[in-house]
Amino acid sequence: MGLWDDDAVDTRFVQPYQASKTYVCPGCNRDIPPGTGHMVAVPKDAVDLRRHWHRGCWINRHRRRPGRA
C-alpha cells in the first residue's frame, strides 16, 4: 500500500475563499496560489506529511510515471 492510496489518507477540499497561502503541489511541482480551491491529503499514519494538491493532480496521481507523487 502506498502513502497516497485512498485508504491510507484523509482528504478534504479547500474552498477558494479558505485558501490564503501559496503551496507547491507534489503532483506537478507547480504553485497553488492563494484563492485557488485544492485538495489537502493527510496520511493517516504520518499526519506531519500533509500535502496540498491541485484537484486534477490528486485525481490522476496513480497515472503518473514511477518516482512521481
The count of domains in the chain is 1
Q: pLDDT value at position 29? A: 95
Residue 1 domain-assigned? no
User: Of the candidates 58, 59, 66, 65, which has an alpha carbon nearest to the alpha carbon of residue 26?
Assistant: 58
- Cell representation of residue 12: 478534504
Residue 45's domain comprises 6-63
Q: H or E segment at 51?
A: strand 51-53
Residue 69 domain-assigned? no
Residue 8 has pLDDT above 70, yes or no: yes
Q: pLDDT digit string (tens) for 16-69?
A: 999 999 999 999 999 999 999 999 999 999 899 999 999 999 999 888 765 555
Residue 57 domain-assigned? yes
In the beta sheet, which residues pair with residue 14?
A: 38
Q: Is the pTM of this model over 0.85?
A: no
